[in-house]
Chains A and B, each alone.
Chain A
Amino acid sequence: MTTDLSEKIDTAPSGPAASAKRVRVTINGAVHERVVPADLSLLDFLQEDLNLTGTKLGCGIGVCKGCTVAVRRVPSAQLVPMLACSTPAVNLDGQSITTVEGLAGGGALTPLQTTFLEKFAFQCGYCAPGFLMAAHILLDQLRAAPVSRDKLDATIAEACGEHICRCTGYVRYYEAIRQVALAEPGLVR
């Protein structure tokens, strides 16, 4: 884990609506501490403050799930999905967040990423980060609580069923996620 001390503290932007709060979050392994407006969304924080634009805005109201990131509230907790468009950044204080940029972390692609590629899972790709993060969280959860083979499809649907993709018809996303879940030992009973 690293701390980017050079960016440690920012001043709060001006404006009457912006009651500023300090937030300290770990994003993709790096600790960021900032003073931000209390109503600044996590998505805007990622994109504007940290220049991490891999997390996407689709609807901005938490419907399309395109902005899904993975949050670990405490080190021992399971990953849970969080909608970055409609979650204030200050709510994540003290928590650890993984975004699409953190999956490979500048190194080798994860099996989910390579399988998304090889299955031609996405087309325009704009919703791919949301699907990747949902599936990443699903795998984490399956590691803790494997499901039986006959429940796998329903479990995938539960994790990804509300994600919106306009290009693909979803078929290849689901095939890719299923393949990765089955390939990793211990996720499916």
Chain B
Amino acid sequence: MSIRFTPTRRDFIRTVGAAGVTLIVNRIGPAASTEAASTAPSIPKAEPSVPPEWAAGDGKARYRIDGIPKVRGDKIYARDFRARDMEGWPATERMALVLRTTRVDRRFKGIDLSILPVELMPQKIVTSDDLASDAITLPSSTTAPDGTKVLLADPGQPPVYYGQPAAILIFKDFETWRQASRILQFREDDVILYYPGAPHAGAAPPQDGGRTPVSRPDPILHQPAPYQPATYLTRYADKGVERFSQVKDGYSNPYQFTTESANSDTEKVNREARHWRRRISAEFEKPGVKVFEGTFHTQVIDPMFLEPEAGLAWFDRSAPEGGTAGGTMNLVLGTQSTNGDFSTTLALFAAEGCPFKVATVVLNSCYPGGGFGGRDVSIMPLLLSIAAAYSDGPVRIAQDRYQQFQSGLKQLGARLHPRLAVDPEGRFTALEYRLDLLAGGNNNYSQWVAQLAAYCAAGGYDITKVWVDGLAVPTTGVVAGSMRGFGGPQAFFAIECLIDEAAAALKIDPIKLRRINALAKGDHTVTGAPLNQKMPLAEICDIAAKQALWRDRDAVRKEKAKHKHGPLYGVGFALANQAYGTGGDGVMAEVFIDATGMIGVRTNCVDMGNGSATSLAISTAKSLGANAREVITGDVVSFDALDMNSASGGSWSDPRWTSSMSMSSSACLTAFHQVHACEQAAAALFDTGLYPAACRIWTAGGGKAPEKKATVWKDGALRAPGSPPLPLAQIAAEIFANGLVSGAMVHAFYQGQWVAAKYTVDGVTAERPIDGFSTRLAAATAWRVHDRREVKAPPASNALWGRSLYAPSGALAAVEIDRATGAVQVVEIHTILDAGRVIQPDLLAGQSQGGVAMGIGYALLEKLPLTEGGAGSGRWNLDRYRVARAGDVPMGRLKLTLLPPEGDTAKGIAEAVLCPIAPAIVNAISHATGSHATGKRFDSLPVLAEDIRKVLA
């Protein structure tokens, strides 16, 4: 998800001693000088001719760059750090506990800690009154259904959602916190106080000490509007002509009847949308057309990354050197959204009247112990910063698993209603699809999840007459957000199961039916966006259909059915066309070299375990002949050296403006987006630094410099016909001896195409697919900004495409079902994937294998009630919430077929490998049970043994 973030102020950057922790310092106040902002990164000195141990040659990795600390048990996760580990911090550490509400049907009154003995009482209790009186400014991601921003429960109001924090308790030390936590655990009924009686509309506000209720409508009594913006898509194409679409006509809302002039642009497009929706509905009435529809449900799930969120914060109230008024907020976090957390922390204390004067924010970005979207704009950084503000020294929050279930971001459940028209030839002629994504009590990223679900609604199929509504419906559930798949798993589940029903009814092979309708290059998406890339969905169908697993499925099923007490057997298939990227993505990278020839990469992205750091480290080899030795991740502030902004209303004619500066880290954004930035920075460093240095060496003895295109890296040396090979170290030494370019920093923006422009560096002009570029000379601290010229920006209509990059995938799943118990065992999964160019095969395969395990959990195991009795109750842990174990995964029978890449770019596949798994398994269950023949349907995830027993009964 793109966050528009403009870093405007910064101080310096350095790495602390503990492995994997990047220290980012951001200073509020006058921007530091460019020199001060540009402290050169230190790279461990080593013989440059010796490649790092993790490398397996140029562009290859023998193991993960972050591997050794992870197998040694080094401190690398946020949970590992204590104040005593942090250089310059006081060693005394407070512990904070977040008390959470567990009901929403009563008005919150306050907390009662009298069950604690006096010696275990917290030093400080932070409540919503404190936040209000101290003018704490909450971010937009905490928006409640009524539009107000909420964090701690307001006295006199019902909690906005199950598990909403009620108070932050700060204890003097670990042992006091530990003992108090034991007493308080599961004692909400004694500790959290509510006013008696259900809240009623119009009831008099409580007068007995409760804060005067705000005018917020009661979320229990009022059906709130969807979080904004809602997504309404209408596309009508006929005979190859786009008659109406988002891309052609702009955003529309057919449910909006304006009071403005009937001829206003808004009313016109809305009226048009209504017109075309009627035309679409008419398709369902045509003779010969068969209509398939159903209501499907997907469940709330937890990302269940294994490291419960934890962190450390210290508000150092002393003014930093330089005399800027205010203190320093130091944070140690494992987060996917360094950019967002950073700006949010700045904003928390920025209001006039806030007594906490924060001049500097230090964000120590640690390797997260798993992410899957669950650390993307979590409230943990808010809670930590606030705890630190009210604490007298460093403070730590270390959630246990119950608390993590209670508070961590969830994947949105969904209520899905697709309606599909199919003509006698099996062509999908029209689709109407309503997707209600069940959001929690804050918006977080729910509206964007619903939007991508809407974009995914038509799956991998060419359907020319479509309307889709994608809504993030507020509930009193735990806050949900951007979990892996981002709406795709929900949307694909319903459409892929419905298509299997259609195939059964039409007596067409399910893969053949998909093949008939598969999207191809040149077709358009539900937004009307053209598909300019190879779309091998038909090819995926063909590969799947040829597999013995599929061809023999009925024969094997019949054979197995002969054994009276043996398992039922079935094979299912599902297709997915998951997008990667957000449709308008800003990325950045810096590549630098030191005097010995060692290469380093700096990036704002974070490696959640998906392998981003390793992928980037090997991406320098193409241009520089060697892998990077070091990758600095999670660094936002350094890129201030680009001096760019993304102010609203800006334009591409401003050479320092970009449409989107940076975004949160997502596993699907590395391979295409982040690698592009890294490769471009490496290429720019070669062009502006290494090649000129090599030419100096080659020409020093009177020789002739070879053309750049004639040079090639081999065995760590730059070679050209007729010229002596130059080792990288020799070139680096030349750079540093002559003050040539030793660092290149780029920003790139993709929206259907990379923005490209011309840049002139030291008199040489080149066009590059980037929109921001700075270089640094050897030994210099200042960066030189090279303003772009002759920019080639995406057409404005590209912004309406929604998405433009896809990683098509398909999966065959085989299951065995115990006839007596209904228990399902997945016995084989064969994934077919268009991953583009493979950067590192082990990382790719690992993503796929992990996607299978998560898909099995989604299909068969994982479930949280949305509201009452759900995760917000604080009673959930891994004894009740079952994720896939090794025994649930068909480890010896996992197969991955990769399609040949179309070009030289890689694709973000972390979500694509997940999306088809659950529907393929459910379709296999339907095949095994013969449910389609009996008109029974497995329409809710997860499919449990009891559901199967019902169908078999």
Contacts and interface: CB of A to CB of B under 8 A. Distances in A.
A167 B84 CA distance: 31
Nearest to A41: B178
Contacts of B81: 53
Contacts of B84: 51
B260 interface: no
Contacts of A128: 70-71
B179 interface: yes
A163 B308 CA distance: 16
Nearest to A164: B883
A22 to B, nearest CB: 17
A124 B608 contact: yes
Nearest to A39: B182
B849 A171 contact: yes
Interface string B789-800: 000000000000
Interface stretch (A58-66, A87-95, A142-150, A180-188): A58-66
Contacts of B227: none
Interface in B831-851: 842-843, 846, 848-851
B854 interface: yes
B887 A168 contact: no
B80 to A, nearest CB: 4
Contacts of A103: 71-73
Contact of B72 (A40, A100, A167): A100
A70 to B, nearest CB: 13
A49 B944 CA distance: 44
Given A61-B878, A101-B73, A118 B401 contact: no
B886 A157 contact: yes
A169 interface: yes
B400 interface: yes
Nearest to A40: B178
B175 A54 contact: no
A54 B77 CA distance: 10
A50 to B, nearest CB: 12
A21 B175 CA distance: 15
Contacts of A14: 119, 175
Interface stretch (A1-9, A71-79, A109-117): A109-117
B878 A58 contact: yes
A187 B920 CA distance: 40
B19 to A, nearest CB: 12
Given A18-B179, A57-B79, A167-B370, A129 B73 contact: yes
B931 interface: no
B72 A172 contact: no
B894 A53 contact: no
A111 B62 CA distance: 15
B891 A171 contact: yes
B75 interface: yes
B878 A164 contact: yes
The binding surface of chain A is classed by DSSP as loop
Interface stretch (B299-307, B528-536, B625-633): B299-307
Contacts of A16: 117, 119-120
A61 B879 CA distance: 8
A118 B63 contact: yes
Contact of B306 (A48, A99, A124, A132): A124
Contacts of A157: 886-887
B369 A59 contact: no
B175 A13 contact: yes
A169 B256 CA distance: 46
B368 interface: yes
A168 B850 contact: yes
B815 to A, nearest CB: 17
Contact of B886 (A44, A63, A64, A160): A160
Interface string A116-131: 1111101111111100
B73 A60 contact: no
B878 A54 contact: no
Nearest to A117: B63
A54 B67 CA distance: 14
B174 interface: yes
A169 B889 contact: yes
B140 interface: no
A165 B401 contact: no
Contacts of B305: 124, 126, 166
B64 interface: yes
B853 interface: yes
B369 A126 contact: yes
Interface in A27-57: 37, 39-40, 44, 48, 51-57
B897 interface: no
B72 A104 contact: yes
A18 B175 CA distance: 9
A144 to B, nearest CB: 24
Contacts of B75: 53
B771 interface: no
Contact of A59 (B175, B877, B884): B877
A162 B884 CA distance: 10
A113 B67 CA distance: 9
Given A117-B71, A166-B370, A53 B611 contact: no
Interface string B304-333: 111110000000000000000000000000
B38 to A, nearest CB: 32
B74 interface: yes
Contacts of A48: 82, 174
B852 interface: yes
A109 B71 contact: yes
A90 to B, nearest CB: 15
A63 B877 contact: yes
Nearest to B175: A13
B372 interface: yes
Interface string B240-254: 000000000000000
Interface string B662-680: 0000000000000000000
Contacts of B74: 54
A15 B877 CA distance: 28
A129 B74 CA distance: 10
B119 A165 contact: no
Interface string B80-108: 11101100000000000000000000000
B885 interface: yes
B889 A170 contact: yes
B175 to A, nearest CB: 4
B89 to A, nearest CB: 15
A171 B852 CA distance: 11
Given A64-B306, A129-B73, A170 B179 contact: no
Contacts of B802: none
Contacts of B182: 17, 39
Given A124-B608, A129-B73, A164-B883, A117 B370 contact: no
Contacts of A56: 77, 79, 306-307, 369
A101 B117 contact: no
Interface string B177-196: 01100110000000000000
Contact of B183 (A13, A17, A37, A162): A17
Contacts of B877: 59-61, 63
Interface in B724-781: none
24 contacts: A16-B120, A56-B306, A57-B401, A58-B878, A60-B402, A61-B401, A63-B877, A100-B72, A100-B73, A104-B72, A117-B71, A122-B71, A123-B610, A123-B846, A125-B67, A126-B609, A128-B71, A132-B71, A166-B303, A167-B370, A167-B609, A168-B849, A170-B886, A172-B846
Ranked nearest first, the 8 interchain pairs of A and B with the lowest CB-CB distance are A54-B73, A124-B609, A125-B70, A169-B849, A126-B369, A123-B609, A100-B73, A117-B63
Interface of A: 13-18, 37, 39-40, 44, 48, 51-61, 63-64, 66, 99-101, 103-104, 109, 113, 116-120, 122-129, 132, 157, 160-174
Given A57-B400, A103-B73, 17 more contacts: A14-B175, A37-B175, A44-B174, A44-B178, A51-B82, A56-B306, A59-B877, A59-B878, A60-B400, A61-B878, A118-B63, A120-B846, A124-B370, A125-B369, A126-B369, A160-B886, A169-B849
